[in-house]
Chain A
Amino acid sequence: MLKITDLRAEIDGKEILKGLSLEVNAGEVHAIMGPNGAGKSTLGYTLGGRPGYEPTGGSAIFEGQDLLELAPHERAAAGLFLGFQYPVEIPGISNLQFVREALNSQRRARGEAPLSGGEFLKLARAQADALGMDPEMLKRPVNVGFSGGEKKRNEMVQMGIISPKLAILDETDSGLDIDALRAVGEGINRIMRAPDKAVLLITHYQRLLDYVQPDFVHILADGRIVRSGGPELALELEREGYGILAA
């Protein structure tokens, strides 16, 4: 589904990703772990196309398309979902309006018919219910006045409505209490655990992986994947700390 080869990227002329390679197949959940400053968030933003995150070499092929050649909204229409570490507050636009506009933009780009207001509302309510979010919050401005946990749940509600092929979730577990962590973890499993979908979980800690069992764990350090393994690698990291990288 996604094949990243020797990816290099820089911010303000400073190289952060220094030849990163990774392959994610349909049906797989990959966790990317690593110390602060390793380039975890940069990987997510570079794949999502955030301005200022400049790819300078290598490739990222997603479902046969060169991801790095696409505008951010085209990446979304191709099936990529980027879950934000800090979801943005947007006063003046309701959640419903935002996600409906997003979903229908994607559907139009793929040549599918847009959803009607009624169809969309049903879908949005169902996803909010499934994630334990009060459907009334769908009417509120995007993330405005939401707690950290509510913002992350809202990311998952958006993901549930959009139902992407590949979700890149950047520190989705940060700032969550234990109930929110469980809800988010279950949300990821319910929405994305499918033979035709895949997840790239970017995380600093093991705790989300208690709920979302990864098939593969990769350690990112200084802009490269330095070790890959199964779920046991995350446990080893949790036990030993990132000091094992030096050994």
Chain B
Amino acid sequence: MIGVDWPTYVQLLGLVQNSIIAAAVLGVVGGLIGVFVMQRDMAFAVHGISELSFAGAAAALLLGVNVVAGSIVGSLVAAAIIGVLGARARDRNSIIGVLMPFGLGLGILFLALYPGRSGNKFGLLTGQIISVDLPQLGLLLGISALVLVSLLVIWRPLTFDSLDPEVASARGVPGRALSIVFMTLLGLTVAVSVQVIGALLVLALLVTPAAAALRVSASPVLVPVLSMLFGLVSAVGGILLAIGGSLPISPYITTISFAIYVVCRLLERRVKSGASRRPRTPALAEVAR
């Protein structure tokens, strides 16, 4: 970024306008759903889904159909398998561990068979946001809006089920149905994120912002807001930095998102080592570990 040619930069900015909009929206949606990914301990599932999403996108590329659609199909298949077979956390991890290399292998096979340019190929793994065209942008925005609205509608029951499935169920929250809906929303979010940041780096938008937010707050309002903000800053900031140079976008996004996380961890330490966590009566302090 040293010696940036500003007129050229502004010109480039106009060219990647679609990408910036897509990144902003994905940063927000990824940050929001990331809060539930953390609560439901599903970071590994996100990674597993993204590999199958990659396989779906690669298959679509090979067949000459819409890559986003292929990506979505792959994602939803993975989300359904994980949701149905992996209701319990222990089963889930082994199923994801089995699914992930299979998806990645399939994807590599399809790419190897694909006769087109190799630049398209690895974009699916490591990001290709510069190439977002208008119809694609429309699809991304539509899906993101659907995920956003759905999450807000099921927010409280999903929070209840994530915290305490037994009590939630006793109170009439349909845990199983919610779980299926959540996995579907997660699958959709992963599929659109793969288009921006690539299958290998999806976690930087779906997990890191929420993990960072949880370091500095436990408020059910502040955590989602911060997480969305962190996702937005990472995704858009990554593009703004990348178009000035010749490096790909993904490393910028992952680095910003990682830096935010590190700062949040440092802030957390300062908050905790500062004033004592809370006043307690001696009798309570004694028995509270």
A binds B: no
